[in-house]
Copies of this chain bind each other. A is one copy, B any other.
Amino acid sequence: MEFTIQQIAAMLGGQVQGNEQAKINMLAKIQDAKPGQIAFLSNPKYEQYIYTTHASAVIVKQDFVPKKELQTSLILVEDPYSSFTILLEEYHKMISFQKVGIEEPSFLGQGSTCGSNIYRGAFSYIGNNVKVGDNVKIHPNTIIGDNCIVGNNTILHAGVKIYSDSKIGSNCVIHAGSVVGSDGFGFAPQADGTYKTIPQLGNVIIEDNVVIGANTVIDCATLFGDSTIIRKGVKLDNLIQVAHNVEIGKNTVIAAQSGVSGSTKIGENCIIAGQVGIAGHLVIANKTGIGAQAGISKSVEEEGEKIMGSPAYDVKDYFKSYAVFKKLPDLNLRIRELEEKIHSYKSNGHSL
- Spell out A's residues near B (CB within 8 Å): 26-29, 32, 85, 88-89, 91-92, 103, 105, 107, 121-123, 125, 139-141, 143, 145, 157-159, 161, 163, 173, 175-177, 179, 182-183, 185, 187, 193-201, 209, 211, 213-215, 217, 219, 223-225, 233, 235, 237-239, 241, 243, 250-251, 253, 255-257, 259, 261, 268-269, 274-275, 277, 279, 292-293, 295, 297, 310-311, 313, 317, 320-329, 331-332, 334-335, 338-339, 341-342, 344-345, 348, 351-352
User: Contacts A199-B91, A251-B195, A292-B295: A238 and B214 contacting too (C-beta < 8 A)?
Assistant: no
* B197 and A211 contact, CB distance less than 8 A: yes
CA distance A289 to B310 in the complex (A): 17
Chain B neighbourhood of A26, CB < 8 A: 224
Considering the complex, give the chain B residue whose CB is closest to the CB of A187.
Answer: B235
Chain B neighbourhood of A185, CB < 8 A: 213, 235, 237-238, 255-256
Chain B neighbourhood of A224, CB < 8 A: 26-29, 32
**Copies assembled:** 3
Nearest CB on B from A195, distance (A): 6
Chain B neighbourhood of A345, CB < 8 A: 352
* A183 and B175 contact, CB distance less than 8 A: yes
Which of B91, B200, B269, B332 contacts A201 (CB under 8 A)?
Answer: B91
CA distance A69 to B145 in the complex (A): 42
User: Contacts A187-B235, A187-B253: A141 and B159 contacting too (C-beta < 8 A)?
Assistant: yes
Chain B neighbourhood of A310, CB < 8 A: 292-293
* A241 and B238 contact, CB distance less than 8 A: yes
* B122 and A125 contact, CB distance less than 8 A: yes
Nearest CB on B from A337, distance (A): 8
* B201 and A27 contact, CB distance less than 8 A: yes
CA distance A25 to B121 in the complex (A): 36
Which of B201, B225, B243 contacts A32 (CB under 8 A)?
Answer: B225
Considering the complex, give the chain B residue whose CB is closest to the CB of A183.
Answer: B175
Which of B92, B213, B313, B327 contacts A182 (CB under 8 A)?
Answer: B213
User: Contacts A256-B241, A277-B274, A295-B292: A339 and B334 contacting too (C-beta < 8 A)?
Assistant: yes
Which of B141, B251, B279, B293 contacts A141 (CB under 8 A)?
Answer: B141
Nearest CB on B from A237, distance (A): 4
Nearest CB on B from A184, distance (A): 9
Nearest CB on B from A26, distance (A): 7
Chain B neighbourhood of A89, CB < 8 A: 196-197, 199
User: Contacts A187-B235, A257-B259: A324 and B329 contacting too (C-beta < 8 A)?
Assistant: yes
Which of B241, B259, B317 contacts A326 (CB under 8 A)?
Answer: B317
User: Contacts A125-B123, A199-B92, A235-B195: A176 and B179 contacting too (C-beta < 8 A)?
Assistant: yes
* A348 and B348 contact, CB distance less than 8 A: no
28 A-B contacts (beta carbon < 8 Å): A26-B224, A28-B225, A29-B225, A121-B125, A141-B159, A143-B158, A159-B159, A177-B177, A179-B215, A182-B238, A185-B213, A185-B235, A185-B238, A185-B255, A193-B250, A193-B251, A193-B268, A213-B217, A214-B217, A217-B238, A241-B257, A255-B261, A256-B261, A259-B275, A261-B274, A277-B292, A321-B326, A325-B328
